[in-house]
Amino acid sequence: MIAGIIGATGYAGSELVRLLSGHPDVDALILSSVTFEGGRIEEVYPNFLGSISAPLAGPEAALEADVVFAALPHGVGEKWAAAALEKGVPFIDLSADFRFDGDEDTYAAWYGRRYAFPALREFSVYGLPELNRKRIREYAGKKKVIIGNPGCYPTGASLAAFPALSPRPDGKRQAAAGTVIVDSASGVTGGGREPSRSFHFPECSDALAPYKVGSHRHTPEIARNFAAMSQGSGVPSGGERSVIFTPHLAPMNRGILSTVYIPLDESWQVKAPGSSCRPPSPEVEKQAGRIRETYAEFYRDEPFVRVLPAGVPAATGRVRGSNFCDISVHLDAAGSTLIAVSAIDNMVKGAAGQAVQNMNVIFGFDEKAGLEAVPALF
Amino acid sequence: MIAGIIGATGYAGSELVRLLSGHPDVDALILSSVTFEGGRIEEVYPNFLGSISAPLAGPEAALEADVVFAALPHGVGEKWAAAALEKGVPFIDLSADFRFDGDEDTYAAWYGRRYAFPALREFSVYGLPELNRKRIREYAGKKKVIIGNPGCYPTGASLAAFPALSPRPDGKRQAAAGTVIVDSASGVTGGGREPSRSFHFPECSDALAPYKVGSHRHTPEIARNFAAMSQGSGVPSGGERSVIFTPHLAPMNRGILSTVYIPLDESWQVKAPGSSCRPPSPEVEKQAGRIRETYAEFYRDEPFVRVLPAGVPAATGRVRGSNFCDISVHLDAAGSTLIAVSAIDNMVKGAAGQAVQNMNVIFGFDEKAGLEAVPALF
Amino acid sequence: MIAGIIGATGYAGSELVRLLSGHPDVDALILSSVTFEGGRIEEVYPNFLGSISAPLAGPEAALEADVVFAALPHGVGEKWAAAALEKGVPFIDLSADFRFDGDEDTYAAWYGRRYAFPALREFSVYGLPELNRKRIREYAGKKKVIIGNPGCYPTGASLAAFPALSPRPDGKRQAAAGTVIVDSASGVTGGGREPSRSFHFPECSDALAPYKVGSHRHTPEIARNFAAMSQGSGVPSGGERSVIFTPHLAPMNRGILSTVYIPLDESWQVKAPGSSCRPPSPEVEKQAGRIRETYAEFYRDEPFVRVLPAGVPAATGRVRGSNFCDISVHLDAAGSTLIAVSAIDNMVKGAAGQAVQNMNVIFGFDEKAGLEAVPALF
Amino acid sequence: MIAGIIGATGYAGSELVRLLSGHPDVDALILSSVTFEGGRIEEVYPNFLGSISAPLAGPEAALEADVVFAALPHGVGEKWAAAALEKGVPFIDLSADFRFDGDEDTYAAWYGRRYAFPALREFSVYGLPELNRKRIREYAGKKKVIIGNPGCYPTGASLAAFPALSPRPDGKRQAAAGTVIVDSASGVTGGGREPSRSFHFPECSDALAPYKVGSHRHTPEIARNFAAMSQGSGVPSGGERSVIFTPHLAPMNRGILSTVYIPLDESWQVKAPGSSCRPPSPEVEKQAGRIRETYAEFYRDEPFVRVLPAGVPAATGRVRGSNFCDISVHLDAAGSTLIAVSAIDNMVKGAAGQAVQNMNVIFGFDEKAGLEAVPALF
């Protein structure tokens, strides 16, 4: 199979190149770059020398492939999606353009533009396999499919909260009650390859700060994912769920850590509430263990979600370079708020890796194909 | 004046040495170190060569000074406090031993030991000047005074939340309602000078992770500070306030960033609540501005608290090396939760700088004396 | 094939685990750890969860494998080498114990001990394939073989200098004349997993310093490699070549950069020598190009050495996670000193990767098997 | 006294602001910025809030001061120097424009332009006090003076080599013989405030690489300083000395480490030369000690040069934020090459601090005034 990548020289694009070059079902790559058209990928990324060698063509060339990935800024890729759809070539889009399906108003409110080709949303599906793998497969079956690959923060936040938001198979009430708070920090690669003051080494090294507090555009994506899971529909629909999301920039290259505070439904709380002035009681530890088991059960068949044993907190350093999402489950001392922490590599599960995972789902490949890199601790 | 430092060779101790060596009212230092007794400070810290030179004696020597600082592990300094008290020398303790006053049970529950000299608490006062400067002065007036210098996390968390917790002078209801969530990240100096796996460069570099989720022993200190401010007593008493606290380790040397989520009393909320699926409304921005003004007013006379203008988020990189606590004020899109973010240098306002500030308060020096370092951005 | 690893829980050991778990010719691993015997590798390295799972046995268990790797401190593995030899199992040793062959005096002078089993050196060979691949194969043919896997610094330094030291096939004189200076900097993983003050995050973060100037024990290994290449013997013998080696510790996790200054034989110098007060002349650039071609030619068939094109300096960030050694070739302005810069990942080509490469040579596998990871720029 | 700063919002400019704001002899600052004219310094650098507050005017305003600092790119400040000269106001220039005195050809060869006001060089003097303090004072006495503040690399390299290059007062031969190699690494602030790919966090974090090998424009400045010291003239003249200089970019904010290799004159070498295959002999250690004493003697009266005791290598982490230059002295095992390592804070002794030091010399202030910050280890 041949894979095409439009926007191959950005950070997410270059990660796609790296991952797809090692994919057992991908025979060749067609790469495209507006900025570097006419050059070669190994000139732009000399780290690829001797491993990957390919010319950088225009976007049309990439459309000749059997699957097309687009790693472009928001708002410029719709026409390529339309072209791919016409050819019957699956299109996996890493921008936000296809993450909101028919809810164009929400998209427009945050991204400052309306859909150029609204009709494409009939064929687009939100590509978070852990939320709606079945639906992705259905769409893929229609041969015409566009994947709205999830944002990096929404991936980590959603996977941390899903088991608590999911309607209980046992008829028990959903664990989450009330507004969920998502406190996240991202490595600097999340800002992309374009130099700017914010990502200038001396300004972000040895420092930590929040940004876009209360106004980051991943907020509606998170809210919609939470709602979709709450409704058990497996599809983000017009619904929403109240969410507070605060992103931070951390002085590291890769990784997103999300600390998610989920107020528990009374039925999930500890009976004898603890105090903030006392260490957690054995009962709190026990209840944390039960919820941990619920989480593990929820993700039992997921190839990329690791619910960590007690005592091992999620850490970005343990998922480096892999498609894993690590989740650790904790309770506050009072036993009334679930603290679920997730760690992903923002460039892999948060971007390129998840895109490859979506390709695997669409084509019926082993979902782990090309994504078996063992995380390196350093 | 002569200042004595017991535990001068730990990180907090060495910062005390550095700060006090530049203090206009301190003429000489007497340094003590158990580990390096008999050596010299500039051998242990060659960065001091040519600037600071002093022998390292036993703790008794330090008691000959006019004020004694102790930067020791918890549980080993009480006897020196007792000795200082007997001599009528103010004792400023950077451990947790004197942070809980008469509430020995809370101390014992988290630190695993009971007070060796319980009677000392008659003379001890919690040294957060922004909370109880008046009381510190009263105690100082009695000539026999022990300062329980606050923990690093509690300092940042408390200053971020205080204006929202404080009873309103205008009779309006207190802004904060319900459980406050404190999500913090610390630089690695917070772990001290003793090497360990957790602080081994390859294990914490380029990585982010939480630790002691739901069970960090700064939790009760935060809860008590919140209660004290809520009660308007200016003194942490037996009360508490429900708090959830999650510390993280960030790959940087200095700094603590605390993102504090404070559910607002209805009277402080925006009338037309926003949605997580829409950017903040102008009304939300306006209300955030009002709360920012409330914060600025609250801290108007504080020499070390900077309430930042809109658009400037608190960032550890902007308080580096200084005794400042920066606070930025935000609202979530719904307009119902206050997000107050504080940044301190954990080694200065979070430890040694605050200790010097307490000395200044006790002796009636200019509170900024010795603490006028302008923060370096890098 | 089954591979055994003695010392699987150190940093080099854990990299071996990671690399071998993805090796196409390795079916299973037997892991051993003195410190964690009885535990499991995924408990010690939770980053392996879901990818690699294996118990940690005693060293004897590892000897049941078809090949044994030892990643132990110097001086403790000889007995396991002896045991492996007896069983006819190839033994690949990552310590310095088998790097000096019969030259026990040099080993003893730097490592402070004499050989416990001197007779083993009849079967040991220095495992730098680019120096003596042929000889490694010969030893492997004898079925009894011990590989002295090279040190990290010597690998980078040697590969940077070899083409200049090699006798010229064209009868021209060897490029290098006089003492070679090797100025290197290593990431902190080079110090291993054991916490210490030197590798404590706050002490080495945001800082750069040399260590063991003029007295690092990789110096004799470098000198011997240089001599071996100079003599064209392909085998480090008793000879030596004058070398000055200065290692530095750099605030990064992985990578060794070596800047190697090689005084040029007159026949290789630019005829009209430039001045330090003028930019390099076109003639200097031209001569640098010729030497670059000589380097490229020298390494033409080497799978892991990349001689970089003009304008691309060697950088540790471009070999991250790979077994590549990147080399960039430069001349000083005067045109009389060659500046060859090499970059390796100290944990891969500098340790575990090279060990796997040696296994591939010994067993006749594709030399790149298990080592095809494309370097990630970040 | 009032100090004016042209170019106050670049990194070097902002350091000048920080240092001068604490200078006991400076009463006020007049700040100028082309980019931010009309704004305020504390808006551009919010870290200054509450400490430093000043409007940003045009360059003419700064000329009203009693001393003018210019922290501008090369080639744009000559006219302001001319204007200052006319007013009789000392002008301290941090660019390269006044570092080469009458040697315009060398300047032109490296900086690609000729002097706009060549006549100014009659009044300009190279501002490295350790080289030519006396001459700076002479020029200052003439009332019309322009200081060419040294480059960051030349400062570190020169101070490391000077004692070995200086003619011996005891009639003994100069220690240095032959080409000196300067291998340096700089923190990223050295690249200035303008964002670019090279200084983009993900591209330089956790990585090390050389740049401009053999062609960095600090090379001629180093060569001239070496020559000046060799000639004992205390003034860089037309002479030069052969130098090889390789700069690297290290993943840290501040600091330059220079490892300087100085071939020793026979009279300074160890009699029984050592071997690269043996640890340094006691004789080598002894001779290193003698040279260390020579260094200490040479710098005995210098307020900012610290010759470190044996066993303490120069480290950037130990001069952080200070105007110190630390130097450690080592010998190679053979006893024939001196390895002198220097560490400076590139933004202080390498730029703004040295400029303040020059001001102190010019005005007859205590040379340490405003520069007494004790280096913080972290």
Closest CB to C220: pick one of D110, D276, D332: D276
Looking at every residue in chain B, the average pLDDT score rounds to: 95
- Contact at CB, B52 and D312, closer than 8 angstroms: no
- Contact at CB, A21 and C374, closer than 8 angstroms: yes
In DSSP terms, D69 is beta-bridged to D5, D92
Strand D56-57 to strand C305-307: parallel, antiparallel, or no bridges (unpaired)? unpaired
- Contact at CB, C251 and D253, closer than 8 angstroms: no
- Has D152 been annotated as catalytic? yes
Q: What is the mean pLDDT of residues B56-72?
A: 97
Which residue in chain B has the smallest CA separation from A340? Answer: B213
- For the stretch C353-363, pLDDT in tens is 999 999 999 99
Q: Is the pLDDT of residue C211 over 70?
A: yes
Q: Are D357 and D367 in contact (CB under 8 A)?
A: yes
B367-372 contacts: CB < 8 A, separation 24 or more?
B367/B129, B367/B303, B368/B303, B368/B304, B368/B323, B369/B23, B369/B24, B369/B25, B370/B19, B370/B20, B370/B22, B370/B23, B370/B24, B370/B25, B370/B26, B371/B19, B371/B304, B371/B322, B371/B323, B372/D22, B372/D51
Q: What is the mean pLDDT of residues A311-325?
A: 98
Give C197: exposed, middle or buried? Use CB within 10 Å, 0-12, 13-18, 19+. Answer: exposed
- For the stretch B140-153, pLDDT in tens is 998 899 999 999 99
- Contact at CB, C214 and D242, closer than 8 angstroms: no
Which residue in chain C has the smallest CA separation from D214? Answer: C332
- Contact at CB, B208 and A255, closer than 8 angstroms: yes
Closest CB to C254: pick one of A312, A319, A378: A378
* Rounded Cα gap, residues C95 and D267, in angstroms: 40
Q: Would you say the C-alpha torsion C29, C35, C37, C41 has a positive or negative sign?
A: negative
Residue located via tokens 């089993």:
C117
pLDDT at B273: 81
Among candidate residues D354, D317, D346, D128, the one with its CA nearest the CA of residue D248: D346
Residues 6+ apart with CB under 8 A from D80: D6, D59, D62, D63, D68, D70, D91
**D residues 54-93 near C, CB within 8 Å?**
none
CA distances for D186 relative to A108, D27, D249, angstroms: 45, 33, 5
What the block records as the tokens of A262 is: 């989920």
Among candidate residues B180, B172, B190, B200, the one with its CA nearest the CA of residue B254: B190
- Contact at CB, B205 and C11, closer than 8 angstroms: no
What the block records as the tokens of A72 is: 């472009």
Q: Which stretch of DSSP H or E encloses residue B358? A: helix B353-363
Q: Which stretch of DSSP H or E encloses residue B162? A: helix B152-165
- Active site members of C: 152
Q: What is the mean pLDDT of residues C232-246?
A: 73
pLDDT at D143: 80
pLDDT at D105: 96
Looking at every residue in chain A, the average pLDDT score rounds to: 96
Residues 6+ apart with CB under 8 A from C59: C6, C32, C34, C80
| Subunits in contact with chain B (3 or more CB pairs closer than 8 Å) | A, C, D
pLDDT at C159: 98
Number of H helices, E strands in chain C: 11, 14
- Strands of the sheet containing A337-344, edge to edge, are A209-210, A243-249, A180-186, A256-263, A337-344, A325-331, A305-307
Q: Are D20 and D366 in contact (CB under 8 A)?
A: no
| Subunits in contact with chain D (3 or more CB pairs closer than 8 Å) | A, B, C
* Rounded Cα gap, residues A262 and D303, in angstroms: 59
- Contact at CB, C315 and D208, closer than 8 angstroms: yes
Q: Are A269 and A171 in contact (CB under 8 A)?
A: no
Which residue in chain C has the smallest CA separation from A305? Answer: C50
- Contact at CB, D330 and C106, closer than 8 angstroms: no
- For the stretch A167-201, pLDDT in tens is 988 888 899 999 999 999 999 999 999 999 999 99
pLDDT at C10: 98
Chain A contact set for C205 (CB, 8 A)? 206
**Helix axis angle, B129-141 to B353-363, nearest 10°:** 40
Chain D contact set for C328 (CB, 8 A)? 210, 213
Which residue in chain D has the smallest CA separation from C209? Answer: D315
**D residues 191-210 near A, CB within 8 Å?**
193, 195-197, 199-202, 204-206
pLDDT at C108: 97
pLDDT at C238: 47
- For the stretch D300-312, pLDDT in tens is 999 999 999 999 9
- Contact at CB, A277 and B219, closer than 8 angstroms: yes
Judged by DSSP in three states, D376 sits in: coil
**Backbone dihedral region for residue A143 (phi beyond 0: left; psi -120 to 50: alpha; all else: beta):** left
- Contact at CB, B277 and A220, closer than 8 angstroms: yes
* Rounded Cα gap, residues B30 and B32, in angstroms: 7
* Rounded Cα gap, residues D57 and B60, in angstroms: 56
- Active site members of A: 152
**Backbone dihedral region for residue B295 (phi beyond 0: left; psi -120 to 50: alpha; all else: beta):** alpha
Residues 6+ apart with CB under 8 A from D118: D104
Q: Are C260 and C182 in contact (CB under 8 A)?
A: yes
Strands (E), chain C: 2-6, 28-32, 56-57, 67-70, 91-93, 124-126, 146-148, 180-186, 209-210, 243-249, 256-263, 305-307, 325-331, 337-344
Residues 6+ apart with CB under 8 A from A213: A246, B313, B328, B330, B339, B341
Number of H helices, E strands in chain B: 11, 14
pLDDT at D9: 98
DSSP annotation of C36 reads T
DSSP annotation of D176 reads B
Strand D337-344 to strand D325-331: parallel, antiparallel, or no bridges (unpaired)? antiparallel
Q: Is the pLDDT of residue D214 over 70?
A: yes
pLDDT band at residue D192 using 50, 70 and 90 as cut-offs = very high
Strand B256-263 to strand A91-93: parallel, antiparallel, or no bridges (unpaired)? unpaired
C215 touches chain B (CB under 8 A): no
* Rounded Cα gap, residues B183 and A244, in angstroms: 13
Judged by DSSP in three states, D92 sits in: strand
- For the stretch C107-142, pLDDT in tens is 999 999 999 999 999 999 999 999 999 999 999 998
Judged by DSSP in three states, B243 sits in: strand
Chain D contact set for B320 (CB, 8 A)? 47
Q: How far is B315 from chain A (nearest CA, A)?
A: 4
Q: How far is A181 from chain B (nearest CA, A)?
A: 8
- For the stretch A59-117, pLDDT in tens is 999 999 999 999 999 999 999 999 999 999 999 999 999 999 999 999 999 999 999 99
Among candidate residues D222, D230, D218, D237, the one with its CA nearest the CA of residue D135: D237
pLDDT at A238: 47
Q: What is the mean pLDDT of residues C10-33?
A: 98
Chain B contact set for C196 (CB, 8 A)? 195
Q: Is the pLDDT of residue B233 over 90?
A: no
CA angle C31, C37, C43 (to 5 degrees): 75
Instruction: Identify residue A60 by its one-letter amino acid code.
Output: E
pLDDT at B76: 95
Closest CB to A214: pick one of B187, B251, B333: B333
Residues 6+ apart with CB under 8 A from A170: none
What the block records as the tokens of D295 is: 């260094």
Q: Is the pLDDT of residue D272 over 90?
A: no
- For the stretch B192-204, pLDDT in tens is 999 999 999 999 9
CA dihedral C103, C109, C110, C113 (to 10 degrees): 90
Instruction: Identify residue C264 by its one-letter amino acid code.
Output: L
pLDDT at A274: 83
Residues 6+ apart with CB under 8 A from A138: none
DSSP annotation of A116 reads S
D321 touches chain A (CB under 8 A): no
pLDDT at C373: 96
Q: Is the pLDDT of residue C369 over 90?
A: yes
Give A182: exposed, middle or buried? Use CB within 10 Å, 0-12, 13-18, 19+. Answer: buried
**A residues 133-172 near D, CB within 8 Å?**
none
Looking at every residue in chain C, the average pLDDT score rounds to: 95
* Rounded Cα gap, residues C319 and C314, in angstroms: 9
C186 touches chain A (CB under 8 A): no
* Rounded Cα gap, residues D334 and D272, in angstroms: 8
Q: What is the mean pLDDT of residues B214-237?
A: 86
pLDDT at A107: 97
Chain C contact set for B199 (CB, 8 A)? 195, 200-202
* Rounded Cα gap, residues C95 and B50, in angstroms: 42
- For the stretch A50-60, pLDDT in tens is 999 999 999 99
pLDDT at A199: 98
Q: Is the pLDDT of residue D25 over 70?
A: yes
- For the stretch C272-328, pLDDT in tens is 888 889 999 999 999 999 999 999 999 999 999 999 999 999 999 999 999 999 999
pLDDT at C153: 98
* Rounded Cα gap, residues A25 and A18, in angstroms: 14
Residues 6+ apart with CB under 8 A from C295: C163, C307, C327, C329, C340
* Rounded Cα gap, residues B32 and B58, in angstroms: 5
CB atoms within 10 A of CB B88: 11
**D residues 217-236 near C, CB within 8 Å?**
217, 219-220, 222-224
Q: Is the pLDDT of residue A236 over 80?
A: no
